[in-house]
Each structure stands twice: as structure tokens, then as C-alpha cells.
Amino acid sequence: MAGRRALALKGEGRGSSRLPWLSALGRRLVCGWRGLPATALPNWVDAAAATRQPDFASFFENMVDGAFRSTSDGRLVAANRALAGMLGYADMEEFLSVNIIRQLYVNSADREAVVEHLVAAGEVRNAELRLRRKDGQQIVVLENSRAVRDAAGETLYYEGILTDVTELKQAQDLFRTVASHAPMAIFIVQDGVVRFVNPQFVAMTGYPEAALVGGDGIWLIAEEERSGVQAAAAAMLRGERTQPYEFRLVPRSGGVRWVLGTMTAIDYRGRPAALGTFTDITDRKHFEEELTRQAFFDSLTGLPNRNLFIDRLEHGLGAANRRHEQIAVMFLDLDGFKAVNDRLGHAAGDELLLRVASRLQEMVRGGDTIARFGGDEFTILLEAISVDEDALAVARRIVAGLEAPFAVAGHDVTLSASIGLAFGRPGGPEAGELLRQADIALYAAKTSGKRRYMVFSEGMSLRAA
């Protein structure tokens, strides 16, 4: 008892502790003495003197923590039954006869270091020690003790209390073992400050533990997603059910990593905290993005495909109806593409389609949608059209723009475009019908000589039928 080796027991200052998570407990036991004024530890008396102080003797004997008084040479002067039981002794006389240094300390050097510290500082706070029970089993205790001196400053004896924290220490060690081998990153945050990170968290972020613990950690999250993560954490601490959330983490190496985060409310140092996990889902997100690209984008040109175009057309019509606006749909076919493809080969044909797609994007507004509908057919969605002439001007620009030669496979290739155009107005046809109308107008343009655009009319529909 009264043991604190300099290397094992960090924080020689008043109130310091090797186990920060137990420091509050130590302060309560030592400074508060379970509700007594936070002055100094009481001067305990031996059994004979205690008979003259029955109230204190009862308090001393019924403490749930172990209490002791010892000499500098390792003899127990007084102890309560809680301490004897903690160390496996049923007979108090036997217990008071043990030699502390040889029989109780697992490492006798701890005792020497403690005495040195008591002589120098006068007290030991929250010292984590390993003691040996009578049956040989080792336990972990927190010791808080002081040196009692006479008027001349000479040490008379040491007195203090011991708290058995073996189960807590085992739980802490188990948590650290599990956390260090867990496949995901684990952390604890309290009062907006990171208190703990496991090795996987360090590996995921690329930052050393010292750079993570003690900060808020918010800088690890992509800036545009920080408020959402903070809101989820706040909701969890309020007791609300929260779902796992996805966001981007910014590692030290640069770039971003997608992670799936979870948070659970826990008690840490006697106050609310959050236990969180991060699972790296970057590969999964890339796979999902690739599936989306294949499902909704043309593999050659990178433009939206038929599926995505129809989806955007349906949304565009809905928005136009709500805003009382109109939209325009163009169906475009390349005149003469088949001849180029047959003459120069499929690779040249693909190159030509890429160049056409690029040129088309230069001739429409940023918010308009160009899609490769299939083969050499393209569709264009123009939203928020004020007047019909706006769409007609775009059609004229496209017809003229595609007539300029394309450099393909070492050849200057010329072709033209035929365009069918249909307008979607509030209360007008739905997406499928609007596409059909644009297709009919395209057919009319091609049968009228190509290299032109035509707007759908009901008469076209009758001729097509």
C-alpha cells in the first residue's frame, strides 16, 4: 500500500492519474471521502484508540473500500475488514502481521517508488497498483494515501484507502483488445472531444493517435457533410434512434474515403459520451457508382442513355406542369452515318459518335439533357422554354453545327442531321407520347430531304398512321 512507481504511475501532480477514466472516482474517494468535507484524510487510530471513538470506529470498519495505516518499513498498523477481505484474509490478526513489501506487492519496487513519492510530495493520488491476495491471485487497486508527519516534519506513518478496480481494469483491457482487433475504426467522443481511437481509426485516417485524441475530429469529415454528421450525433445523444449514415472522410494522404458511421450513447467517466464506428465502404460506393453508370449512361459517349433520358423527361414534365412552363424534346438522327461506319470501320464510327456528342454539348445550355438513345440517334431535352422560338433556334444551331467536318481516323468526315421536335405544355401529353411525337417529326424531316428539323403536328401523326 502507499505505492506509486514513477514509471508505472503517470502524472505526479495533484489530481493526476494513470487511468484518466477513473480519475473522477479517485477524486471522489480521496477528496470527498464519500460525502465528508474535502479537507484531508482523517487521522485514523489503532484499535485501542478506536474504542474511545465508537462512531469513527464503526465508520472505519464499514467502509466498502479498504483503509489502512502503515509504517515506512512495510508493517500494517491498522486496517479495516474491507481491505482484509479484498486481499483474501479472514483473520484480522493474521492480516495485520503480513509484511506489505514481501507479501502484498506484486512488484516490491512499487513500494519503494511510492515511499519516495510520499516523502517528496506528501501524498499519492489515483495510483494504479497490482497487489497479491493471500491465495496468490493478483488484483488491481487504486491507492490514494498521504504521509502523516509530526510537528518537526518527520514522517510518522502512511495512511490511505484502496479501491479494487480489477473488474473495471479487466473490462477496459477487454475493450482495448476487442477494439484493437476489430475490423472497423472505433472512437469515443465526449463533449465534442475525441477521447479514444483504435489502431484501425489511425490506419484509416493516416494520422497518429496523438494528433486525433484531444481534438474535435470534425476536420476529418468532408466540409459539406460536417453539419449532417454533427446533427446525427446530437440526435443520438438526445436518445433518438439514428440510422447508420454515409459520408466522406478526408485522410491525411488526400482524396476522400467513403465510410459508414454508427454512433451509440455510452457513459464515459460518469458522463454521457458517444461510442462510434467507421467502416470503409469506398470500394462498395465505387461499385455502386459503376452500376449506376452502366444502368443510366452510355458506355461509349458517357452521355445519359435511354433510361436516364426518359426519367429526366418525366421529371421535367412534372416540373413544367407545376410551374406552368413548357419543354421541348428533340429526336436527332445522323444522316449518312452508316456510310461512314461501313467505309472507315466501327472504330472510326465510334470515334465519330464521340465527336458528335462533344459538339452537341457545346450547342445547348448547361442544364439541358443530351442522351444517346441508341445507334446514331440522340435525344435532347430543353427545359423552361419561354417561347417556341427558343427551341427552334437551338434546332437550327444544331443542324448548322453538325455540317462542319469531323476529323476521324485521319479523314475529314462530313454528315448532317435530321431533327424532329415536339413541345410539352401544361396539361399536354406524357413522356412516352411526347417522345413518339418527336420521333414522328424526325421521320417527316428525313422523308422531306434530311438536313433539317421539323416540328410535330397532328397532320404528321395521321400520315405516319
Instruction: Provide the strand spans (E) within 133-211.
Output: 138-149, 155-164, 185-190, 193-197
Q: Residues 199, 152: one domain?
A: no
pLDDT band at 459 (very low <50, low <70, confident <90, very high): confident
Helices 306-323 and 282-296 pack at an angle, to 10 degrees, of 80
Q: Residues 208, 256: one domain?
A: yes
Domain's final residue, options 258, 282, 306: 282
Q: What is the largest CA-CA distance in the chain?
A: 123
As a whole number of angstroms, the distance between CA 389 and CA 412 comes to 33
As a whole number of angstroms, the distance between CA 151 and CA 309 comes to 94
As a whole number of angstroms, the distance between CA 394 and CA 411 comes to 28
pTM above 0.75, yes or no: no
Q: Residues 24, 137: one domain?
A: yes
The closest of 330, 458, 350 to 409, measured between CA atoms, is 350
Grid coordinates given for 16: 493526476
In Å, how far from its chain's centre is CA 411?
A: 54
Q: Residues 376, 381, 386, 387: what is their CA dihedral angle, to the nearest 10 degrees?
A: 30
As a whole number of angstroms, the distance between CA 439 and CA 418 comes to 11
pLDDT beyond 90 at 163 = yes
Parallel/antiparallel/unpaired status of strands 66-70 and 369-374: unpaired
The answer to whether the CB of 416 falls within 8 A of the CB of 403 is yes
Residue 15 belongs to a domain: no
Residue 289 belongs to a domain: no
Model pLDDT for residues 276-318, shown as the tens digit of each residue? 999 999 999 999 999 988 999 999 999 999 999 999 999 999 9
Q: Residues 9, 12, 18, 22: what is their CA dihedral angle, to the nearest 10 degrees?
A: 130
Model pLDDT for residues 261-272, shown as the tens digit of each residue? 999 888 887 788
Q: Residues 145, 30: one domain?
A: yes
Residue range(s) defining the domain that contains residue 76: 20-167
* Torsion 116-118-121-123 (CA) sign: positive
* Torsion 101-104-107-112 (CA) sign: negative
Q: Residues 89, 152: one domain?
A: yes
pLDDT beyond 60 at 238 = yes
Residue 253 belongs to a domain: yes
The closest of 166, 2, 137, 151 to 69, measured between CA atoms, is 2
In Å, how far from its chain's centre is CA 194?
A: 12
- Tell me the percentage of the chain whose pLDDT exceeds 70: 87
The residue that leads in pLDDT, 181 or 444, is 444
Q: Residues 42, 109: one domain?
A: yes
As a whole number of angstroms, the distance between CA 127 and CA 142 comes to 5
Residues 6+ apart with CB under 8 A from 161: 29, 30, 41, 63, 65, 66, 67, 68, 143, 144, 145
Domain's final residue, options 167, 192, 212: 167
The answer to whether the CB of 261 falls within 8 A of the CB of 277 is yes
As a whole number of angstroms, the distance between CA 179 and CA 312 comes to 46
Please give the order of strands across the beta sheet that includes 245-249: 193-197, 185-190, 271-280, 257-268, 245-249
Residue 301 belongs to a domain: yes
Q: Residues 315, 453: one domain?
A: yes
Q: If 0-12 CB within 10 Å is exposed, 13-18 middle and 19+ buried, where does residue 448 land? A: exposed
pLDDT band at 169 (very low <50, low <70, confident <90, very high): confident
Report, in this order, helix, strand and coil percent for the chain, each rounded to 5.
Answer: 40, 30, 30
Exposure letters 299-316 (e unless 16+ CB within 10 A, then b) = eebebbbbebbbebbeeb
Domain's final residue, options 167, 191, 210: 167
As a whole number of angstroms, the distance between CA 44 and CA 78 comes to 8
pLDDT on residue 24? 33
Q: Residues 347, 419: one domain?
A: yes
pLDDT beyond 50 at 39 = no
pLDDT beyond 80 at 365 = yes
Q: Residues 132, 25: one domain?
A: yes
Residue 7 belongs to a domain: no
pLDDT beyond 80 at 371 = yes
Q: CATH number for the domain including 431?
A: 3.30.70.270
pLDDT on residue 186? 94
* Residue written as grid cell 442544364: 367
DSSP 103: I
Model pLDDT for residues 191-230, shown as the tens digit of each residue? 999 999 999 999 999 999 999 999 999 999 999 999 988 8
Q: Residues 366, 436: one domain?
A: yes
Question: What is the tally of structural domains in the chain?
Answer: 3
The residue that leads in pLDDT, 247 or 15, is 247
DSSP 191: T
Q: Residues 107, 35: one domain?
A: yes
Q: Residues 233, 359: one domain?
A: no
Residue 2 belongs to a domain: no
Q: CATH number for the domain including 83?
A: 3.30.450.20
pLDDT on residue 11? 36
Residue 39 belongs to a domain: yes
pLDDT band at 147 (very low <50, low <70, confident <90, very high): very high
pLDDT on residue 63? 83
pLDDT on residue 53? 55
The closest of 438, 426, 306 to 369, measured between CA atoms, is 306
Residue 10 belongs to a domain: no
